[in-house]
């Protein structure tokens, strides 16, 4: 049995511990839809008591400058 | 029969304790690594919820937990779906999507109800349960209906009880699917265990639960006391 969903999207996970902090990238999850991606993100990155966590589909990210191009 | 809120809260506590254990049993056996982690996290959540619910009992009147819980697995007030270890992933998904959501429907009713200790202490659970719901519903949509989902839905409706029409409607709304056709013989319904099926949790699980509780309250068995101390 393969241990992955058949059709998945990759999501970047951002979180912050306090309102004054900026959101920072804490990791990624792969999931077949937005709902389950939320559940996976919350379960996987629970090392802090975050005041906010958001996920962004990796496909929605537009690269403006990449490493090596600056 | 007038329903005692203590009896209901104890049944909810027992169901969540067993649900948490059954989730945990799958934390290295789900189809994906991410679902393994989610199973572990949801298991911890539900075990925690069970402790909070059990902690409310002393403030709700006479404690419904009798001495029979020490020796009789059938004294636990869990739904029959949680009696035994799940052997198939679709059983996990059915419990996660349908039974866990049914328990949340009841939690919502208690949080919106008139008992102050429940209104205040149970509210935090609803935030955590949102992730269980998203996880369960997505997997249910992926796997579709099965014998396990039919049984879970039947037991959820039984758990709501004969007057649970409002809760049944809410469950179907949340899951965005109609309640399946059910045949329930309410004459066999046990109002304390909130189920029609006989049976009880499997013996190894029951023994483990009793052991956990003994350690939690500092009870030392004679056999433990005589064992040599470890360095």
Residue predicted with more confidence, A7 or B196:
B196
pLDDT at B189: 97
Measured at the CA of B33, the angle between CA B29 and CA B39, to 5 degrees, comes to 60
pLDDT at B229: 44
Nearest CA in chain A to B43: A43
pLDDT at B211: 79
**Is the pLDDT reported for residue A12 higher than 60?**
yes
Structure ipTM? 0.83
The CATH number assigned to the domain holding B26 equals 1.20.1260.10
Band of residue A68 on the pLDDT scale cut at 50, 70, 90: confident
Interface of B with A in 33-62 (CB under 8 A): 33-35, 37-38, 40-42
Q: How far is CA B140 from the centre of its chain?
A: 19
For residue B120, give every residue at least 6 positions away whose Cβ sits within 8 Å of its Cβ, in sequence order, or none: none
The answer as to whether B223 is a domain residue is: no
Q: What is the mean pLDDT of chain B?
A: 92
Residue predicted with more confidence, A43 or B222:
A43
The answer as to whether B221 is a domain residue is: no
Band of residue B220 on the pLDDT scale cut at 50, 70, 90: low
Residues in a beta bridge with A27: A13
Band of residue B65 on the pLDDT scale cut at 50, 70, 90: very high
Band of residue B124 on the pLDDT scale cut at 50, 70, 90: very high
pLDDT at B210: 84
Domain that holds residue B181: 5-213
Look up residue B14 and give its two tokens: 């027992």
- Other CB atoms closer than 10 Å to residue B142's CB: what's the count? 15
pLDDT at B1: 42
The answer as to whether B116 is a domain residue is: yes
User: What pTM, to 2 d.p., does this model score?
Assistant: 0.89
A4 closest CB neighbour out of B32, B40, B131: B32
Residues of B in contact with A38 (CB under 8 A): 131, 134
pLDDT at B230: 44
Query: How far is the CA of A69 from the CAs of A58, A59, A63, A66, B107, in angstroms?
Result: 20, 21, 11, 6, 54
Q: Where are the alpha helices (DSSP H) in chain B?
A: 5-25, 33-56, 89-94, 100-111, 116-121, 123-143, 147-160, 165-175, 203-216, 222-226
**Is the pLDDT reported for residue B166 higher than 80?**
yes
Domains of chain A (ranges, CATH numbers): 9-59 (3.10.20)
With 0-12 / 13-18 / 19 or more C-beta atoms within 10 angstroms meaning exposed / middle / buried, residue A10 is middle
Q: Does B188 touch chain A (CB under 8 A)?
A: no
User: Stretch B172-200: mean pLDDT, rounded?
Assistant: 96
Q: Does B126 touch chain A (CB under 8 A)?
A: no
């Amino acid at each position: 049995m393969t241990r992955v969903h058949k059709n998945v999207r990759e999501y970047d996970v951002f979180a912050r511990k306090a309102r004054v902090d900026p959101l920072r990238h804490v990791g990624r999850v792969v999931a077949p839809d937005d709902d389950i991606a939320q559940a996976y993100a919350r379960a996987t990155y629970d090392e802090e008591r975050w005041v906010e966590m958001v996920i962004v589909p990796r496909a929605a990210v537009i690269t403006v400058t990449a490493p090596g191009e600056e | 029969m007038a329903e005692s809120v203590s009896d209901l809260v104890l049944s909810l506590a027992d169901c969540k304790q067993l649900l948490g254990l059954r989730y945990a049993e799958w934390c290295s056996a789900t189809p994906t690594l991410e679902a393994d982690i989610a199973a572990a996290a949801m298991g911890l959540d539900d075990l925690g919820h069970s402790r909070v619910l059990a902690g409310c009992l002393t403030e709700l009147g006479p404690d419904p937990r009798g001495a029979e819980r020490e020796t009789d697995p059938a004294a636990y007030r869990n739904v029959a779906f949680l009696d035994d270890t799940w052997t198939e992933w679709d059983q996990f998904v059915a419990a996660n999507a349908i039974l866990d959501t049914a328990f949340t429907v009841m939690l919502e009713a208690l949080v919106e109800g008139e008992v102050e200790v429940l209104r205040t202490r149970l509210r935090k659970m609803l935030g955590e349960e949102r992730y269980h719901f998203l996880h369960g519903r997505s997997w249910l949509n992926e796997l579709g209906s099965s014998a396990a989902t039919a049984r879970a839905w039947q037991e959820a409706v039984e758990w709501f009880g004969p007057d649970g029409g409002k809760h049944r409607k809410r469950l179907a709304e949340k899951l965005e699917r109609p309640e399946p056709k059910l045949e329930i013989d309410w004459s066999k319904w046990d109002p304390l265990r909130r189920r029609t099926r006989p049976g009880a949790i499997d013996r190894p699980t029951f023994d483990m639960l009793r052991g956990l509780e003994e350690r939690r309250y500092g009870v030392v068995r004679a056999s433990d006391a005589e064992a040599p101390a470890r360095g």
